[in-house]
Amino acid sequence: MADEKLWTAAELEALAPEERERLFAERVVTDLSQVSPEFLAEVRAKGRALLEEHGVIARQTDGG
């Protein structure tokens, strides 16, 4: 990311909708190779836990 600025709500609201959309699109990561392995593992574990909790997938046992 070229621009690491943290924007306040007031600053974002002052922008034109197209500019807000551009800023948002620049910050969306779609290539998982750009995400830290630790963060990716954390997100995957949380996602799996939520799927298990809601009965979407079977709970994983200690054996795999």
pTM value?
0.58
Distance CA 2, CA 17 (A): 20
CB of 35 closer than 8 Å to CB of 12: no
- Digitized pLDDT (tens) for each residue of the chain, 64 residues in all: 455 789 999 999 999 999 999 999 998 999 999 999 999 999 999 999 999 999 999 998 876 5
Residues in the chain: 64
Written as one letter, the residue type at 43 is V
Q: How far is CA 55 from CA 12, 30, 42, 62, in A?
A: 39, 27, 20, 18
- For the chain, the C-alpha Rg in angstroms (whole number) is 18
